[in-house]
Every structure is written in C-alpha cells, then in structure tokens.
Amino acid sequence: MSHDPGYNFAYLDENTKRMIRRTLLKAVAIPGHQVPFGAREMPLPYGWGTGGIQVTAAILGPRDVLKVIDQGADDTTNAVSIRRFFNRVAGVATTTRTPEATVIQTRHRIPEATLTEQQILVYQVPMPEPLFRLEPRLTETRRMHALADYGLMHVKLYEDIARHGHVASAYNYPVMVQERYLMSPSPIPAFDNPKMHRMPALQLFGAGREKKIYAVPPYTAVRSLDFEDHPFRPHRADAPCTLCGSRTSYLDEVVTDDRGGRMFVCSDTDYCEDRQSTQAARGEQAA
C-alpha cells in the first residue's frame, strides 16, 4: 500500500516530525510533565484528535500497523475518519485487532487486552491540564506543577467525599505519575486508570489545541489519587456483556426501547468480537 504522493509520508513535513519527536523524548524523560510544542493546524478540527494525530504521524513508520479506536470501538465515525486519514497519507496497514497493532491511537478508552512492550498507545487529549477546572490560569498551574503543589486537587476530592460519600469524578480521574506529576489520563473512565500503572507499552498523550505533549514510559508507576480511608475504586456497570458475557470489561449501556429496556455491551468492540468468536469455536468443537 502506498501513501498519497501529494503529501509527505504521514502528512507532516520531516522538520515538524523532528520537532514532535524531540518533544516526545523530553516528555518520556519527565514522565507526566506537559511539554509545550508547536502544534500544527491539521486538516481535522481541533478537539477531534489533532494532538493524537500529530503524535501518531511523528512516530509512524511504513511497517507499522495502526489501530484507531474511539470510545473503545474501531467503527465509531471519528475513528473511521482518522484511520482513513492515515491510510491515505501514510499508506500504513491498519487493523482492528489489538494484539496485531504496533500503534494504537485512542480516544476515551484503554483496550481491555493487555498491551505489550512492542506497542505504543497514543491518547487524544482535550484538556491536558488536570487542574484546569480548579484553576484555569496556565501561569498558575505551571507554578503548581513546578512546586508539586497539588493540595487544591486533594481538597476537591475531599469535598466530594464529604458531600457525596465518594469521589464524584467518574472519568478523567487524576493520577500521580511516578509520585511527582499530577496528570490527566485524558477522559478515559476511571475504570481504565489501573491499566496505566506499570503498563509495558509506551503511553503518549497529544493535545493539539492546547499544544502540549506528555508521556508515561513503560512500567511507570501511575497512581489514581485517593485517601487511605477512601481507596480508589474503579466502577463498571453491574452486568455481564449481552454479546460475549464478559463480567470484567467496561460496558456501554444501549437503550433498546422507550420503556426502560436496555442492554449492556462491551465498549471494546475488538475484545468483545474476539470473545464471541472464541466461544463460537468452542461451541462448534463441543457439537
């Protein structure tokens, strides 16, 4: 497969890619620290994955196999659009199978399958600053990160617990990286946070509009903020997947009628399909 000859491989020019790679190296060297970079205007809108796309474009090689998911699914429209973009401008092979991918670009989910050292997970990040709801000023949050002054976030979590009995954040749940930098895991469900901890795969985060890149190198400690008497607890809908029966995967709720009917299905479509086909194969063997 070849790429569109009208554009450089993976769309960005080589100087831009080099600039992004330098930023990535710095980000990997300081896990969880947001590194500013000269994000380019992409032919996709800001907020639709331009940061992730730029990171992917900078690391992609001709032999890479790319998987793109949005909400855990390969077939959501924006994932389809981004996959088509790279298919066109980089001509790389694409896949929906998690184990086959070398680069996985994601929005809002971490795949259920355990990732390996051979894989890179690229997150699309809308707001890289974990403190932005508490302090919108970047000059202020920059100072707070420099001093590791994260009292504001702890107070917020404490107030949640005092008011509601537990933390009210269900996604984009703040994490501490290597016990130094407070980091936004991007709007993944809190359910996914534990997967970031000591993940064998390299995790890269790109925020195009906010012009920041950060990273979690393989096997880095990532701790969801909590208190001794209120330990972090990830939640999922209390049901099995209707399609594959999984009781451990993160579920989407699908409304099936207007009388309160609903079913729960895996948000990770590849995980779900894989389980279904394995079950079908077992069924055939048994028969």
Partner 1 sequence: MAYVAVKGGEKAISHAHDWLAETRRGNPALPELEVDQIEQQLGLAVDRVMAEGACHDRGLAALAIKQAQGDLIEAAFLLRAYRTTLPRFGHAAPLDTATMRIRRRVSATYKDLPGGQVLGPTYDYTHRLLDFSLAAAGEAPPPAPQAAVAQPEALRVTELLAREGLMARDSESDAEPPDLTRQPLDFPASRAARLQNLARGDEGFLLGLGYSTQRGYGGNHPFVGEIRQGHVTVAFTPPELGFEIELGDILVTECQMVNQFHGSKAEPPQFTRGYGLVLGAGERKAMAMSLVDRALMAGELGEDRVAPAQDEEFVLLHSDNVEATGFVEHLKLPHYVDFQSELEVVRRMRATAIAEASSPAEKELAE
Using CB under 8 A, list all residues that contact partner 1: 7, 13, 36-43, 45-48, 50, 70-73, 75-81, 84, 107-109, 126, 136-139, 164-166, 168, 170-172, 187-191, 209, 211-212, 235-237, 243, 250-256, 263, 265, 267
Place of tokens 């600039």: 19
Beta strands in the chain (DSSP E): 35-36, 65-70, 93-94, 103-107, 120-124, 175-177, 181-183, 202-207, 212-216, 222-224, 251-255, 262-266
Nearest alpha carbon to residue 16 among 213, 216, 217? 213
Which one, 189 or 217, has the nearer CB to partner 1? 189
Tell me if residue 165 is catalytic.
Answer: no
CB of 173 to partner 1, least distance (A): 9
CB of 211 to partner 1, least distance (A): 4
Which one, 25 or 237, has the nearer CB to partner 1? 237
Tell me if residue 52 is catalytic.
Answer: no
Cα–Cα distance, 248 to 113 (Å, whole number): 11
Tell the burial category of 250 from Cβ atoms under 10 Å away from its Cβ (0-12, 13-18, 19+).
Answer: buried
CB of 93 to partner 1, least distance (A): 17
Tell me if residue 266 is catalytic.
Answer: yes
Nearest alpha carbon to residue 98 among 177, 201, 24? 201
Which one, 178 or 242, has the nearer CB to partner 1? 242
Q: Which two tokens mark 39?
A: 């994000």
Which one, 75 or 179, has the nearer CB to partner 1? 75
CB of 139 to partner 1, least distance (A): 5
Question: Could you give the residue numbers annotated as active site?
Answer: 32, 241, 244, 266, 272
